[in-house]
Amino acid sequence: MKTVLFSAISLALLHLATPQPHRPRHDHIKRNAPVKVETKIDYVTVNAQDVIVYVDTQGKPVSTTTVYRNQPHPTSNPVAPSPSAQALNPLPPPQPQPQPEPEPQPQPQPQPQPQPQPQPQPQPQPAPAPAPGPDKPSTGGPVSSGPGFKSGVSYSPYNADNSCKSTQQVATDFTKITGYDVVRLYGTDCDQISNVLAATKGSNVRFFLGIFDLAQVQKEAEAVSKAVKGDWSRVNAVSVGNEMVNKGTDPGTVIGAIGQARGALKGHGYNGPIVTVDTMVAMVDHPEICKASDFCAINCHAFFDGKTRPEKSGDFIKGWVDKIEKATGKTVVVTETGWPTQGDTNGVAVPSQENHQAAMKSIQGTFANNVIFYSAYNDMWKKNAQGTFNAEQYWGIMGNAPSA
C-alpha cells in the first residue's frame, strides 16, 4: 500500500513538474540570465532539464531542486537529497521554449556626402593699357603748340531768317574777308565747308572746322571728309562742340565725343589737331577737357567781365591764357574774342563802334598769333537776350554781311 501510494504521489508530482508553455509578453528578457531557485512547497513551473523531488519516509514531498546542465550553480544551497530520492527516475527533458526573435536592428543611414564647394576662380588681371596711338591727344611737337596762325576770324553762313546762304552769297561775303590766315566755321550744315572752300579757292586761307552736334559726331565727321574730298591740307584744326560744358554738358560726354571724332576723322585720313572749345571759366574748372584736346581752345570776351574797359581787353585775355597754360601745360588758342558795337551796358563795358575799335587794337597789340576774332559780320539770325545784354547780333568786325 505504501509503495502504491508513493508511486502515485511521485507520478502526480512529476506531472506537475512537466514544463508548461509561457504566455507571450511585450518585454524582452535578457538572454542567459541566472535563474533564482526557491525552496517552497508551492508548485512552480520552471525551465529545467532535470527536476528532483525530495520526500520523507512517509512519502510526502519536502523539497524540489533543479539541476541545470552547463550552467553556473545557483547561489543558494538547496537541501541535500536523501539516498532514496536519488533512486527516482529522472523526468524526460523539457521541450525547448521558443526564443523571441531578435528585433531587427535599424540599418545605419548613409551619411550625406558633402557637396563639392565651388572653388574661387582666379580673376583675370587687367591688360596693360596700350601705348598712346595717333588717335590720342599729342603731348609734344607742333600739334601741342597750337595751330600756329597769325590771325583768324569766324563766319556763319545764315540769313537773318535762319535760312542757309547760297553758294553765291557765301562767295559774295568772302570778297571782303581778306587778310586772315584762318577762318573758323562752327558746323557742317548748309554745305558751308564746300561753299567756303569754293569761295576761297586759290587762296592760302585755312579753316578751323567744327563738329557742332555731339550726338552726330560720326555723321558730321563724314560730312567734313566729304567736303574736303580727301584734301586735308587746308584744314588747320577741327573742334568738337562749342561751349558745351559751359552750357551744362558733362565733361565726360565731351571727352568721349572728342575721342569719337578723333577716331572717325583718322579713318578718313585726317591726322591734325582735334579739340573742344569752351569758355575760359569752364576750361579752368575742368582742365580735363583741355588735356583731352590737342591744345586748349577758349572763347574769352572782356565785355562780359563788366569790370574791364575795352582798351584793357588784351590784358584781360592774356591773364586767362597764362592761367590756363600754367594749369594744363598746353598752348592756349583764343577761338573767340571781340567787342559788340550795339547792346546794353555791362558795368564799365559799353557797346559802341568806338569801343569795338579800342578793344581790337588792345588785343592785336597783346597777341601776335593764335587769336580768332568774333566775328566777320553781324549775326542777324541770332536772338538778342537780356542775359547777353542784347548785344548778341552785333559783334561783326565789318558790320552787316554784303550778301544780306
pLDDT in tens, 168-202: 999 999 999 999 999 999 999 999 999 999 999 99
337 Cβ contact list (under 8 Å, min separation 6) = 299, 300, 301, 302, 313, 317, 363, 371, 372, 373, 374
Q: In Å, what is the CA distance from 396 to each residue of 140, 153, 172, 210, 353?
A: 35, 10, 16, 20, 10
Cα separation, 316 vs 332, in Å, equals: 14
**Cα–Cα distance measured from residue 273 to residue 213, given in angstroms and rounded to the nearest whole number:** 18
pLDDT value at position 171? 98
pLDDT in tens, the chain (404 residues): 444 333 433 433 334 334 433 333 333 333 444 444 444 444 444 444 455 555 556 666 555 555 444 444 433 343 333 333 333 334 444 444 444 444 444 444 434 333 434 333 434 343 333 333 335 564 433 333 456 899 999 999 999 999 999 999 999 999 999 999 999 999 999 999 999 999 999 999 999 999 999 999 999 999 999 999 999 999 999 999 999 999 999 999 999 999 999 999 999 999 999 999 999 999 999 999 999 999 999 999 999 999 999 999 999 999 999 999 999 999 999 999 999 999 999 999 999 999 999 999 999 999 999 999 999 999 999 999 999 999 999 999 999 999 99
The pLDDT assigned to 216 comes to 97
Quote the CA–CA distance of 150 and 181 in Å, as a whole number.
6
What does the pLDDT read at residue 136? 59
> Could you tell me how many residues make up the chain?
404
> What residues are annotated to the active site?
336
What radius of gyration, in Å, describes the C-alpha atoms of the chain? Answer: 60
DSSP conformation class of 371: B
| Largest CA-CA distance found in the chain, in angstroms, rounded | 177
Q: CA angle, corner 151, sides to 147 and 155, nearest 5?
A: 95
Identity of the amino acid at 106: P
pLDDT at 148: 82
